[in-house]
């Protein structure tokens, strides 16, 4: 399989995640500076989430640039990573806490390990 399909699928999933994050933002209740300041925590959470998801996307892009071929193991490792990124978003919507970051970080580490093992066999 060519890596372009894997890249396109992953880019699509991450674009959907960013879109869902934007849809969660609420407009300020009023037109004044005070109303805008009340939404500042939500905006900060969105900005941090956007940056972290962007880091995942960038690292994913660089990892795939180093990839010559895509095997079944790589597909499963990629799905594993995307699953945890989506799970982080769902858990953030239900109950915001720092714990989903730890879970996503661990899952990313496991996905990278799966990717390395699949490439060390070839």
Q: How far is CA 73 from CA 70, 76, 106, in A?
A: 8, 5, 18
Residue 88 has pLDDT above 90, yes or no: no
What is the model's pTM?
0.68
Domain that holds residue 111: 3-120
CA 53, 1, 108 angle in degrees (round to 5)?
Answer: 25
Q: Locate the DSSP E strands across 17-74.
A: none
Tokens of 23: 């849809």
Determine contact, residues 8/82, Cβ cutoff 8 Å. Answer: no
pLDDT tens track for 89-115: 766 554 544 555 555 556 566 666 666
CA 28 to chain centre: 27
pLDDT in tens, 17-75: 888 888 877 888 888 888 888 888 888 888 888 888 888 888 888 888 888 888 888 88
pLDDT for the residue numbered 76 = 87
How many separate domains does the chain show?
1
pLDDT in tens, 54-65: 888 888 888 888
């Amino acid at each position: 399989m060519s890596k372009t399909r894997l890249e396109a699928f992953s880019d699509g999933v991450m674009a959907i995640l960013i879109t869902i994050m934007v849809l969660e933002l609420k407009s300020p209740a009023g037109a004044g500076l005070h109303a805008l300041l009340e939404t500042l925590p939500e905006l900060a959470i969105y900005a941090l989430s956007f940056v972290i998801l962007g880091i995942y996307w960038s690292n994913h892009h660089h990892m795939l640039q180093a990839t010559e071929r895509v095997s079944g193991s790589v597909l499963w490792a990629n799905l594993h990573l995307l699953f945890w990124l989506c799970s982080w978003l769902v858990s953030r919507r239900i109950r915001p806490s720092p714990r989903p970051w730890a879970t996503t970080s661990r899952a990313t580490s496991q996905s990278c390990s799966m990717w390395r093992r699949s490439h060390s066999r070839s």
